[in-house]
Amino acid sequence: MQSVLSLFRLGIDGILLNPLAYRDQRDSPDGLRRGFVLVVMIGLIVGSATLIGDFGEYVAQPSTAAITKTIYDGLRAMPWYAQVTTVNPQFPVQFDQIFAQVTQIVQMVSGGGIIGSLVGVITTPLIMVVSWLFFGTAGHLMARTLGGRATFNQTLACTALASGVNLLSIVQVVPFAQVSGTLLLGLVTSYVAIRVAHELPPWRTFWATMLGPVILALILIALACVMLVLALGALGSALPGGSL
């Protein structure tokens, strides 16, 4: 319990950009091990908090199936539906296909409900560890290129402390709570981590910090474009003639 509390305090020091905590982490012989445990612990706490919050939302609102059916029935009962059906007798079939596609996309975007949250208890720590390793490696390579002196272990030990920002996501334990502002704060904590680990001047640290997020942003933009094309293709196939 003592060590869990001390790890929690370490995460808070990471959020508060405490340079002493980052220096301790860099110089500690078990900094990497402590960092790994910190990232996994934060992942488990956040995953569990999200599960509790999502369960609260689940029991406080109608089921997705009931909402979908109500909207479906409501749209069909509106005057526009009858008007369009008079002009185009094929419209009800097309409407059903488009409504099913849109419902699928909404369900995909909104996550997998309680099952998704249960899976999230396991996947959240895994994603956090992978992100930590990715950003730590990218930051380390760039920092070394720009004249940094820290070892790989020291960089990872410090960037683990930077991932303490994810502790803010605990707020999701409250149903309907939204997390914001962690992305930029995460960049700032990573900046402090790389600066302290490699003792680089501000501008070199800035560029070393930005490389990982820039690569990730480019990958995400490419993925979003592919998803958009696929979604448009799926919607297009639901329309007559097979195109939008």
Partner 1 sequence: MIDTFNGALTLSQTLFQGMREAPDVVRRGLTLVLLVGLLVGGVQAISTMITNSNPDRVIADIETTLNQSIQQQSLAATSASQREVVQMLKENSQGVLSVVRAVMDLPTPLPRPVSVIFQGLGLMASTPLSYMGSLMFAVVFTHIAAQQLGGQGTIQQMLGMGALSVAPHALDALSFIPVIGSTLGMIAWAWGLVILVQTTSIAHRLDSGRATLAVLLYPLIGVLLVLFGCCALFLLAFVSGGR
Nearest to 40 by CA among 11, 19, 12, 13: 11
CB of 31 to partner 1, least distance (A): 21
Residue 40 or 192: the one with the smaller Cβ distance to partner 1 is 192
CB of 143 to partner 1, least distance (A): 16
CB of 168 to partner 1, least distance (A): 6
Residue 185 or 235: the one with the smaller Cβ distance to partner 1 is 185
- Interface positions with partner 1 (CB under 8 A): 15-19, 56-62, 66-67, 70-71, 73-75, 77-80, 83, 168, 171, 174-182, 184-185, 187-188, 191-192, 202-203, 206
Spacing of C-alpha 224 from chain mean position = 14
CB of 65 to partner 1, least distance (A): 10
Structural tokens at position 214: 């820039």
What does 133-190 look like in DSSP terms, one character per residue?
HHHHHHHHHHHHHTT----HHHHHHHHHHHGGGGGGGGGGGSTT----SHHHHHHHHH
Burial of 161 (0-12, 13-18, 19+ CB in 10 A): buried
| Cβ neighbours of residue 91 closer than 8 Å, sequence gap 6 or more | 81, 84, 85
Residue 57 or 199: the one with the smaller Cβ distance to partner 1 is 57
Residue 17 or 46: the one with the smaller Cβ distance to partner 1 is 17
CB of 53 to partner 1, least distance (A): 8
CB of 33 to partner 1, least distance (A): 26
Q: How far apart are alpha carbons 139 and 208 in whole angstroms?
A: 5
Residue 40 or 46: the one with the smaller Cβ distance to partner 1 is 46
Q: How far apart are alpha carbons 122 and 22 in whole angstroms?
A: 28
Q: How far apart are alpha carbons 44 and 36 in whole angstroms?
A: 12
Q: How far apart are alpha carbons 167 and 45 in whole angstroms?
A: 8
Residue 80 or 241: the one with the smaller Cβ distance to partner 1 is 80
